[in-house]
Structure 1
Amino acid sequence: MLRLFRFSRAALAVGLATGFIATGTVARAEDTSAWQSVKKAGVLRCGAALAPPYVMRDPKTGAYSGFFSELCKDFGEKVLKVKVEFVDTNWDNIVAGLQSDKWDLSMALNDTPEREKAISFSIPVTPYNVSFAYNKNNPKIPKGTKAVADFDKPGVSVAVMSGSAQDKAISALLKQATIMRLPTNDDTRMALMSKRADLLADANITNMLLTESHPEWAAAIQPNPAVAQQEVAFGVRKDTSEADLKVLNAFIDQQVKSGNVDSLVKSSVKTMMTAAGK
């Protein structure tokens, strides 16, 4: 059963201007100066680096899903009243592509001090931390461990998506284990499943999906204290106006308060488990 984490919105709501959420609805974008270039172009471009269940893509049809994809689609179609286009990218380029105007929003981006130097962020959509999935039958991983020091040892390999928030987190954390940087989420999972890697470092919600899909062999370590406790949001360009952010933040705030984000997370996880045959 997916456990959804909640966080206080009180401090975030202070920054939302009066009138943006007057009766539980999102302010119309045409009432502000926000997103005029997007409306003129008639399309909202959403930068998409794959990270199930945040952002997913059907390999057969190319169609995007995942709860951040659904939110980006709803923001474009229902708030800005434009078409939505998903632009393929990866975690190494998710910030640079936004800076160079290849898309208008970067989806499912961890709000980190390093990234805040280059881009700006919406208010949080969901919290995040790094966990470590592993095969329960792997003798290198002590049963019931909660300490990173228990597996940060020579001869232990940890798979991670190159350029992701979890890559940066474990690069600073692990001193002796070998870090296996791979281009996609699928590559990291295959490395773990094929036993080329001993552990998989990923977002807590993503590893929860893996362990629920494969309970016969997969387990996850939730380190205490938490690793890279952050929040996941939309990334926007550094020069984005305050009015632009208020429109986007009002939309996110309403989606969280209404329970729609929780519903989308559950739906995304169900979709992934169905695809995995579970």
Structure 2
Amino acid sequence: MYQVVARKFLKRIPAVAVAASILALAIPGVAKADDVEPLWTNVKKAGVLRCGAAVAPPYVIRDPMSGNYSGFFADLCRDFGQNVLKVKVQFVDTTWDNIVAGLQANKWDLSIALNNTPERAKAISFSTAASNYEVSFVYNKTNAKVGKKLVSLADIDKPGAVVAVMSGTSQDKAVSAVLKQAQIMRLPGIDETRLAVTSRRADFIADASDTNWIFSESHADWAKTFVPNPALAKQEVAFGIRKNTSPDDIAILDGYLKKKVASGAVNALIKKAVQETLASSK
């Protein structure tokens, strides 16, 4: 009798195991071990950390002559790769429209200086923040279409006003949500947005406050900055990582960033990047 019961019980085990496996796959957040990417192990095997980079000073700066990257987020990516992972670092050119899709497609390992937004968080994961972000507006103080004093976004959101913004960025999404009457001029890069205001094809540039502050300082004879209050689209700025990256790997990157922020190293890199950007614009 015991042997018969035992045989019946053993026959049921595979079915129970299969059912448990199906249930695990159906529960959100429960992933198979094979689905987790050992990112840093793969990077070390390849011998190179690939950093996806779209230009946005002082976060990411690219020398147009040499193609070399700097800026405080680029410096962090370089330092992490060389001194933590002990590998070479390669910067991969991209645009803000493609910076998430390229990461998902494994064209690079980290996306640099990415705003942690709910929309992006559906597609990728994020490291802890290295800095914070909010949107400001730069305009020509001699522009007759702009009032003498800007008090609120309503002073910008008027028929006939043109706001230049980099397509696909967080600032693009932010101004698209709040500006209903002004025309939004979406352009591929930061140089194009600045040229649009300089040439007066656009009345405002909507960009990260740090980036706009640098541009305004380098054109102090005509440029003024308006920072909305309350802050528009205040967000954390971090590294973008693929969704299936091992939690242990994310913890290594987070630990590195927390130490850099706490030690003041990030602030020092920001000051360096601001000075570099201002010097290059003279």
TM-score by length of 1: 0.87
Q: Which residue of 1 aligns with 2:192?
A: 187
Give a deviation string over 1:199-256, Cα, whole Å, max 9, x none.
0000000000011111111011101111101110000000011101110001100111
Preserved contact between residue 34 and residue 247 of structure 1 (Cα < 8 Å) = no
Give the secondary-structure state (helix, strand or coil) at the position aligned to 2:125.
strand
Q: Which residue of 2 aligns with 1:146?
A: 151
Say which of 167, 172, 178 aligns to 2:177: 172
Alignment of 1:19-34 (within 5 A): none
Give the secondary-structure state (helix, strand or coil) at the position aligned to 1:129.
strand
Does residue 110 of structure 2 align to residue 83 of structure 1?
Answer: no
Say which of 39, 49, 52 aligns to 1:44: 49
Give a deviation string over 1:165-222, Cα, whole Å, max 9, x none.
1001111110000000000100000101111100000000000001111111101110
Q: Which residue of 1 aligns with 2:265?
A: 260
Partners of 2:145 and 2:204 lie apart in 1 by 10
Q: Which residue of 2 aligns with 1:200?
A: 205
* Residue identity in the other structure for 2:67: G
Structure 2: gaps of 5 or more residues: 1-37
Q: Which residue of 2 aligns with 1:55?
A: 60
Say which of 202, 216, 220 aligns to 2:221: 216
Give a deviation string over 1:134-173, Cα, whole Å, max 9, x none.
0011122223313011120111000000101100111111
Q: Which residue of 1 aligns with 2:254?
A: 249
* Residue identity in the other structure for 2:241: V
Identity of aligned residues (%): 60
Q: Which residue of 2 aligns with 1:11?
A: none
Give the secondary-structure state (helix, strand or coil) at the position aligned to 1:90.
coil
Q: Which residue of 2 aligns with 1:114?
A: 119
Report the structure, 1 or 2, having the larger helix content: 2
Partners of 1:141 and 1:120 lie apart in 2 by 40
Preserved contact between residue 56 and residue 65 of structure 1 (Cα < 8 Å) = yes
- Structure 1: 4+ residue segments shifted above 6 A: none
Does residue 98 of structure 2 align to residue 129 of structure 1?
Answer: no
* Residue identity in the other structure for 1:218: A
Q: Which residue of 1 aligns with 2:167?
A: 162
Structure 1: gaps of 5 or more residues: 1-32
TM-score by length of 2: 0.86
Give a deviation string over 1:95-154, Cα, whole Å, max 9, x none.
000000000000000000000000000000101000000001112222331301112011
Task: Give the total of aligned pairs.
Answer: 245
Work out which of the two has the higher radius of gyration on C-alpha atoms and give 1 or 2: 2
Q: Which residue of 2 aligns with 1:234?
A: 239
Partners of 1:146 and 1:232 lie apart in 2 by 27
* Residue identity in the other structure for 1:117: K
Partners of 2:242 and 2:148 lie apart in 1 by 44
User: What is the deviation of 1:262?
Assistant: 0.6
* Residue identity in the other structure for 1:167: D
Preserved contact between residue 34 and residue 243 of structure 1 (Cα < 8 Å) = no
Give a deviation string over 1:19-56, Cα, whole Å, max 9, x none.
xxxxxxxxxxxxxx661000000000000011111101
Give the secondary-structure state (helix, strand or coil) at the position aligned to 1:145.
coil
Give the secondary-structure state (helix, strand or coil) at the position aligned to 2:168.
coil
Say which of 91, 96, 100 aligns to 2:105: 100
